[in-house]
Chains A and B, each alone.
Chain A
């Protein structure tokens, strides 16, 4: 019973890592870039979701729109993914494009700086007070033979898996997906074949940021206390998941995200919770020692610019 309950908890927790890791993984494989601002884009997505849902709730309250809670949630996710993808595009345009020929280390610290700007910008804009993410759907609890599941948990896991699946299909089946795969294969040559590099970079950032926004809103549904620094720790850990999954692998990043969730949830079941992250990330380190390219990653080659 405890095992199954922990499994359910881990599925929810892993969903966030998986969604955020996808963004890291895409940018990394296509543009050879660690976008360290990604955790903060997740935070921005959560706040945009907060803004959109509050606005929709206000409209419903004044009677100009009659929307049920679940529809507001769906609209919030769609609008926020759309809006946050522009944040991603701007970040790429302002922060990374001018540095495309610069040493990779400069681009990496740009990410850190953009992250700090997003955090403190939010702090300046909205103040340091925590905001409570509105509860859009009522929590229903199901008891399935001793395992307790809420409707929110089911929704979070389903939405994350479907988004990951959709991205996978996009990359496998569309022309843009093919261009992305080609760029991941050889960053330098593909633009010579007529693939517009700038448009691909914008698209990559847009998709990654939209997924981060979805993660941010789902996070707000599950943990309805938002603060400007909420993206840092989860961003780092999702970055670990992206590396663990293997460079550029959608399946890998998703599975590694869930794996990280499982490790973090099951470790405290066996060991004292004080040592959770210590043991969890020692396990991750051990995995990387034996599989330095992650689960689904190709072996590094001379092509890699890092």
Chain B
């Protein structure tokens, strides 16, 4: 009996506390922005870059007294959620950010595997979301509340195909990708279509796949070795890149291996070592030889965290500033979170000629920016060197 009373007492305490929270003061004092990032799981370095860039932005904003909307300054708070690099956790994180934390806007998730399902949730719940790094078209398609800070795979695929054709004069390509992940699978398909456009049907002589968590690729690579391909395209994340490139070399592959923007992590070279030197990949920005605001960002980040930020960090920085610009352009904050989210979304859709550190952006109707891609070469010192720029 005693324990029952005790339980009842505790529950009523909670209820009372909840009531108080619900009847709190009207109108927001602070603006909350959600960050949905892969802090653990397959690509933790991506999550770390996201968090660090967002925190740098937060320092700047709060040092300036907050974001000014309609003549009033609001302090900003970040709510960082880990999505464990899993699709279902990313959706959960979004639901929590939107319904429990009542954030005004969300930045993230980064990779398409999480951004595609999480974007659906954000759109359904009417909350503006900007994915800095997701290049798969589905992320923003028919979702008015979802935006992104990078180019798309239907653009990146042809960029890589054209580059390999022009630079090396190749006609036969091999592709190795993870069939269980949205980003590699989508990009592999776009690349294949673009390559066959350029070189005729059948010019992708090996189109091999594996599934997430595989560590041995020798079966696929043996097939690729015997297919007569002149180069290998593998749009994988950094942990797999190291294994694929090393195993390819151990199986006697000495031809070029080309990658995509998922290679652009500070971890790629660390895990892969000398095997990756001299390889090319397409990405959003090149840290080596950057100028102006880009250089300023890189220097600050490096001073603080001890390494050169990868593209995710730079894109997150841009995404944070895009969100800031949209909030500033929202007119005023009413305190009705649904209404405020809608006005932030409307402001986002009208952003033109945004001057980001990863290039200029103007949003299309789908919430996608029009921007250039960069081809990077991994130098013999393991740095990402600017090689050439490709614009739409």
Give the B-binding residues of A (Cβ under 8 A): 2, 5-6, 9, 12-13, 123, 127-130, 132, 135, 139, 141, 143, 148, 150, 152, 219, 222-225, 227, 229-230, 232-234, 264-269, 272-274, 276-277
Residue pair B243, A223 in contact (C-beta under 8 Å): yes
Nearest Cβ in chain A — how far from B206, in angstroms?
Answer: 9
Q: When chains A and B are docked, how far (Å) is the Cα of A67 from the Cα of B243?
A: 27
Nearest Cβ in chain B — how far from A149, in angstroms?
Answer: 9
Residue pair B250, A150 in contact (C-beta under 8 Å): yes
Residue pair A230, B215 in contact (C-beta under 8 Å): yes
Q: When chains A and B are docked, how far (Å) is the Cα of A152 from the Cα of B249?
A: 13
Across the two chains, which residue of chain A brings its CB closest to B214?
A233
Chain B contacts of A139 at CB under 8 A?
250
Interface flag for B211 (CB, 8 Å): yes
Known: A128-B40, A264-B219. 8 other contacts (CB 8 A): A2-B226, A12-B216, A127-B44, A128-B44, A132-B271, A219-B215, A223-B215, A265-B218
Residue pair B271, A130 in contact (C-beta under 8 Å): yes
Residue pair A2, B222 in contact (C-beta under 8 Å): yes
Residue pair A123, B222 in contact (C-beta under 8 Å): no
Residue pair A274, B179 in contact (C-beta under 8 Å): yes
Residue pair B219, A269 in contact (C-beta under 8 Å): yes
Chain A contacts of B270 at CB under 8 A?
132
Chain B contacts of A6 at CB under 8 A?
219, 222
Question: B252's contact among A143, A219, A224, A267, by CB below 8 Å, is which?
Answer: A143
Chain A contacts of B242 at CB under 8 A?
132, 224-225
Chain B contacts of A2 at CB under 8 A?
222, 226
Residue pair A141, B252 in contact (C-beta under 8 Å): yes
Q: When chains A and B are docked, how far (Å) is the Cα of A130 from the Cα of B270?
A: 10
Q: A141-B252, A229-B213 are in contact. Are A130 and B239 (CB under 8 A)?
A: yes
Q: When chains A and B are docked, how far (Å) is the Cα of A128 from the Cα of B46?
A: 11
Across the two chains, which residue of chain A brings its CB closest to B48?
A129
* Max chain B Cβ within 10 angstroms of own Cβ: one of A12, A224, A264, A267: A224
A-B contact pairs, 28 of them (CB 8 A): A2-B222, A5-B222, A5-B251, A6-B219, A9-B218, A9-B219, A13-B218, A123-B40, A129-B44, A129-B48, A130-B45, A132-B273, A141-B252, A143-B252, A148-B250, A148-B252, A152-B250, A222-B216, A223-B247, A224-B242, A225-B215, A227-B42, A229-B213, A230-B213, A234-B215, A264-B219, A268-B219, A269-B223
Chain A contacts of B294 at CB under 8 A?
none
Nearest Cβ in chain B — how far from A47, in angstroms?
Answer: 15
Q: When chains A and B are docked, how far (Å) is the Cα of A265 from the Cα of B251?
A: 14
Q: When chains A and B are docked, how far (Å) is the Cα of A25 from the Cα of B270?
A: 37
CB contacts under 8 Å to A, within B28-54, are 39-42, 44-45, 47-48
Question: A273's contact among B48, B213, B220, B243, by CB below 8 Å, is which?
Answer: B220
Nearest Cβ in chain B — how far from A231, in angstroms?
Answer: 10
Question: B45's contact among A12, A129, A225, by CB below 8 Å, is which?
Answer: A129
Residue pair A273, B271 in contact (C-beta under 8 Å): no
Interface flag for B332 (CB, 8 Å): no
Residue pair B219, A273 in contact (C-beta under 8 Å): yes
Q: A148-B252, A268-B208 are in contact. Are A233 and B213 (CB under 8 A)?
A: yes
Interface flag for B362 (CB, 8 Å): no
Chain A contacts of B215 at CB under 8 A?
219, 223, 225, 230, 234
Residue pair A129, B218 in contact (C-beta under 8 Å): no
CB contacts under 8 Å to A, within B1-44, are 39-42, 44
